[in-house]
Amino acid sequence: MKAAQPGVKIRTRANLTGWMFIILAVIMIAAFYFYPMIQALLLSFKSGKGMNLHFVGIDNYVRLFSDKTFIAAVKNTFIYLIIQVPVMIVLAMFISVLLNDSKLKFKGFFRTAIFLPAVTSLVAYSVIFKYLFATEGLVNKMLTNLHLIAAPIQWITDPFWAKVTVIIAITWRWTGYNMIFYLSALQNIDHSIYEAAKIDGASSTRQFFGITVPLLKPIILFTSITSTIGTLQLFDEVVNITKGGPGNASMSISQYIYNLSFKYSADFGYAATVSYSIVIMIIILAFIQFKAAGDKNG
Amino acid sequence: MDKLKRVLIYVFLSVLAFVSIFPFLWMIISATNKSADVTQGRLLPGGQLIENVKMLFNTVDIVPALLNSAKISISTTILSMLIASLAGYGFEIYRSKAKDVVFTILLLSMMIPFAAIMVPLFQMFGKISQTVPFIGLDTLSGVVLPTFTTAFLIFFFRQNTKMFPRELLEAGRIDGLNEISLFFRIFVPTMKTTYAAAGIITFMSSWNNYLWPLIVLQSPEKRTVPMLISNLGSSYTPDYGIIMTAIVISTIPTALVFFLMQKHFVAGMTGSVK
């Protein structure tokens, strides 16, 4: 018993030192993520203008279901999500498989070029896309010159095309970024697995679905969850490309929260309720994605 | 057949590379042209660059915006790397069950969308303003304070610490270094690549951050670069040459940081995924 004492002491001291290293980060995350989260929950049961808030129970949550702007924003966000995230993930994975080929020339050039959009600020590229996709913009001019379209497309001012423009923009900005994760994962896959598959006569398509995709599953999960969270928080692009318009045709949930809090007569309580709807959606979607990844495992 | 496939792959990648680069080329070319030429779709470099730069500096407050953005991003990057690497190191080197639980809870904060906490954060900083005005609303510190600690970066440092050779710490202990000096004198210099990658990620996201500065900063002289560009972009009578020049200038810092440290970036990312 006595002999064990000094060892225990050293270990407790080492343990305490360990806490010293992490305590600052814990305080900061608690103060600026978890505390506001709780505050938002409390706020979501209150209503009123500016700082004069009173308790209204679940009224705000009931209001969500009859709020046309909210419903439009949720619809738009889901359209972005359902179309953009899968397209981007598949594209990023496909490109990274092509780039991982050891016989490919100009690999460095292709990789850097495709990653390049990720260095731009969201606001800067959004403004550029707004101009490129303007009715008299360069994209329409090019498509007309190539005789692909007869009349200019109303990229920004048509409810359908406004959403398409936002989707094209986000895909342009984030595909290269996600590709980097796949590339670094592919570099860790042992080449002998493919050699063995080749000897067994597996085609490259079969190799892709039989070996590459299963091995990349953690990365697919990671990129689809981060992209889902990113899309649910979409703000900079929509605000700067379409301003959420025409009408509310391309408005995102984040933009609606911002408008409720800082543009219209400030209703912080209801804004917090809308923001909690994003939290609930993230939890549900992350759960589904984890489940989907897990089931294929089992 | 195989040859055809090769050709198709090169065509496909070249198209993607072109689509990725084209907006950059257009932005740079447009910065050298007159606004009228840009609207007419001119795709050749012109001689207007110096005129555009002059007009930009004379008519738009780009210099204060650049300074504000630089102050915010540099302090965010330094604080971020310090706090996150201390924590990542602490979680991995002094691992215990209780710490692993705390770590998992911290990771949950990655799921919290910023939109969900911006209203309470705004109110919180409104209250802070009343007692400590220099870190409250409408201050640059108010932009930095809630954004510099991220669970992602802590996770990133922890993953990379897994590859850190612990024997170095033992050797340091024998040399009589205390635990804090072990971190600063042995861990930090060994993990340069990880710090470089973390620095790039943090600097870029801080330089490009738009929503939180938009909420916190109210006076025009405190505007950051993205806020300025957003304003220019939504103008009813835009001068495209000047706006494109502003965008080029605003992209230089992040592009430079990226190209100078690209090797470290890829190495660091690979380490975090392992």
User: Which tens digits make up the pLDDT trace of A237-275?
Assistant: 999 998 887 888 889 999 999 998 888 778 888 999 999
Average pLDDT on A38-49 reads: 87
* Of A68, A232, A202, nearest in space to B113 by CA: A232
- Chain A CB contacts of B124 below 8 Å: 35-36, 39
Domain boundaries, chain A: 5-43, 66-297
Determine whether the interchain pair B211/A236 forms a contact, defined as Cβ–Cβ distance below 8 Å: yes
Measured CA angle at A179 (ends A175, A183), to 5 deg: 170
pLDDT of B267 over the 90 cut: no
Cα of B226 to nearest chain A Cα, Å:
6
CB A97 within 8 Å of CB A208: yes
Give the nearest chain A residue to B121 (CA atoms): A36
Q: What is the CA radius of gyration of chain B?
A: 23
pLDDT at residue A211, rounded to an integer: 84
Report chain B's mean pLDDT, rounded to a whole number: 88
Judged by a CB distance cut-off of 8 A, whether residue B21 touches chain A is: yes
pLDDT of B264 over the 90 cut: no
- Give the dihedral of Cα atoms A25, A31, A32, A36; nearest 10 deg: 150
Interface test with A, best of B117, B212, B227 (most A CBs within 10 A): B117
Report chain A's mean pLDDT, rounded to a whole number: 86
pLDDT at residue B222, rounded to an integer: 92
User: Which tens digits make up the pLDDT trace of A83-98?
Assistant: 999 999 999 999 998 9
User: Which tens digits make up the pLDDT trace of A178-218?
Assistant: 998 888 888 777 778 888 888 888 888 888 888 888 888 88
- Chain A CB contacts of B183 below 8 Å: 21
Amino acid, single-letter form, for residue B62: I
Q: Which of B17, B121, B151 sits opposite A113 (nearest CB)?
A: B17
In this structure, what are the phi and psi dihedrals at residue A54, rounded to the nearest 5 degrees?
A: -130, 160
Cα of A1 to nearest chain B Cα, Å:
23
pLDDT at residue A2, rounded to an integer: 45
Determine whether the interchain pair B23/A117 forms a contact, defined as Cβ–Cβ distance below 8 Å: yes
Q: Which residue has the tokens 């953009």?
A: A84
The rounded distance, in Å, linking the Cα atoms of B144 and B45 is: 39
Q: Which residue has the tokens 């049961």?
A: A45
Which long-range CB contacts under 8 A does A134-143 form with residues at least 24 apart?
A136/B39, A138/B26, A138/B41, A141/B41
CB B238 within 8 Å of CB B126: no
pLDDT at residue B266, rounded to an integer: 65
CB B131 within 8 Å of CB A249: no
Determine whether the interchain pair B247/A98 forms a contact, defined as Cβ–Cβ distance below 8 Å: no
Average pLDDT on B46-73 reads: 88
- Chain B CB contacts of A261 below 8 Å: 118-119, 122
Q: How far is CA A133 from the centre of its chain?
A: 23
Tokens found for residue B228: 């300025």
User: Which tens digits make up the pLDDT trace of A115-133?
Assistant: 889 888 889 999 999 999 9
pLDDT at residue B21, rounded to an integer: 93
The rounded distance, in Å, linking the Cα atoms of B225 and B221 is: 11
pLDDT at residue B255, rounded to an integer: 85
pLDDT band at B259 (very low <50, low <70, confident <90, very high): confident
Average pLDDT on A216-228 reads: 85
Interface test with B, best of A32, A130, A135, A274 (most B CBs within 10 A): A32
Measured CA angle at A230 (ends A229, A234), to 5 deg: 120
Would you identify the CATH topology of the domain A66-297? Answer: MetI-like fold (1.10.3720)
Judged by a CB distance cut-off of 8 A, whether residue B42 touches chain A is: no
CA distances (Å), origin B41, targets A142, A242, B27, B44, B253: 9, 21, 12, 9, 27
Could you tell me the CATH superfamily of domain B60-273?
Answer: MetI-like (1.10.3720.10)
Determine whether the interchain pair B115/A125 forms a contact, defined as Cβ–Cβ distance below 8 Å: no
* Terminal alpha carbon distance of chain B: 37
pLDDT band at A1 (very low <50, low <70, confident <90, very high): very low
pLDDT of B44 over the 90 cut: no
pLDDT band at B115 (very low <50, low <70, confident <90, very high): confident
Amino acid, single-letter form, for residue A252: S
CB burial readout A201-222, b (16+ within 10 A) else e: ebeeeebeeebbeeebeebbbb
User: Which tens digits make up the pLDDT trace of B184-232?
Assistant: 999 999 888 888 888 888 998 899 899 999 999 988 899 999 999 998 8
Whether the bond into A246 is cis, omega within 30 of 0: yes
- Spell out the residues 6+ positions from residue B138 whose beta carbon is closer than 8 angstroms to its own: B129, B216, B217, B218, B219, B222
- Percent over 90 (pLDDT), chain B: 43
pLDDT of A297 over the 50 cut: no
DSSP state for residue B221 in the 8-state scheme: G
CB A221 within 8 Å of CB A235: no
Average pLDDT on B248-274 reads: 73
pLDDT at residue B223, rounded to an integer: 93
Determine whether the interchain pair B251/A117 forms a contact, defined as Cβ–Cβ distance below 8 Å: no
Average pLDDT on B5-33 reads: 91
Cα of B165 to nearest chain A Cα, Å:
18
Interface test with B, best of A95, A111, A112, A128 (most B CBs within 10 A): A128
Determine whether the interchain pair A258/B118 forms a contact, defined as Cβ–Cβ distance below 8 Å: yes
Cα of A295 to nearest chain B Cα, Å:
22
- Please report the DSSP string for A73-127 in residue order: HHHHHHHHHHHHHHHHHHHHHHHHHHHT-TT-SSHHHHHHHHHGGGGS-HHHHHH
pLDDT band at B55 (very low <50, low <70, confident <90, very high): confident
- Spell out the residues 6+ positions from residue A290 whose beta carbon is closer than 8 angstroms to its own: A221
Average pLDDT on B98-124 reads: 90
- Percent over 70 (pLDDT), chain B: 96
- Spell out the residues 6+ positions from residue B36 whose beta carbon is closer than 8 angstroms to its own: none
Q: Which runs of consecutive H residues, i.e. helices, occur in chain A?
A: 5-29, 35-43, 59-66, 68-99, 107-115, 122-132, 138-145, 159-186, 191-199, 204-207, 213-215, 217-232, 236-241, 253-258, 268-297
Give the nearest chain A residue to B123 (CA atoms): A51
Judged by a CB distance cut-off of 8 A, whether residue B241 touches chain A is: no
Domain boundaries, chain B: 60-273
pLDDT band at B66 (very low <50, low <70, confident <90, very high): very high
pLDDT at residue B67, rounded to an integer: 94
Determine whether the interchain pair A114/B20 forms a contact, defined as Cβ–Cβ distance below 8 Å: yes
User: Which tens digits make up the pLDDT trace of B141-161?
Assistant: 999 999 999 999 999 899 889
Determine whether the interchain pair A272/B148 forms a contact, defined as Cβ–Cβ distance below 8 Å: no
- Spell out the residues 6+ positions from residue B76 whose beta carbon is closer than 8 angstroms to its own: B144, B147, B148, B202, B203, B206
- Chain A CB contacts of B197 below 8 Å: none
Interface test with B, best of A94, A104, A122, A131 (most B CBs within 10 A): A131
pLDDT band at A165 (very low <50, low <70, confident <90, very high): very high
The rounded distance, in Å, linking the Cα atoms of A15 and B100 is: 13
pLDDT at residue A3, rounded to an integer: 47
The rounded distance, in Å, linking the Cα atoms of A37 and A170 is: 27
Is ipTM strictly over 0.90? no
The rounded distance, in Å, linking the Cα atoms of A246 and A86 is: 26
Q: Which of A51, A131, A282 sits opposite B111 (nearest CB)?
A: A282
Q: What is the CA radius of gyration of chain A?
A: 25
- Chain B CB contacts of A144 below 8 Å: none
Residue B51 has a CB neighbour count (10 Å cut-off) of: 15
Determine whether the interchain pair B83/A120 forms a contact, defined as Cβ–Cβ distance below 8 Å: no
Determine whether the interchain pair A39/B123 forms a contact, defined as Cβ–Cβ distance below 8 Å: yes
Give the nearest chain A residue to B226 (CA atoms): A123
pLDDT at residue B271, rounded to an integer: 54
pLDDT at residue A168, rounded to an integer: 95
Query: Chain B window 148-187: which residues touch A at a Cβ cutoff of 8 Å?
Result: 148-149, 151, 154, 179, 183
Determine whether the interchain pair A258/B148 forms a contact, defined as Cβ–Cβ distance below 8 Å: no
CB A231 within 8 Å of CB A170: yes
- pTM score: 0.86
pLDDT band at B40 (very low <50, low <70, confident <90, very high): confident
Q: Bridge partners of A46? A: A55
CB B141 within 8 Å of CB B135: yes
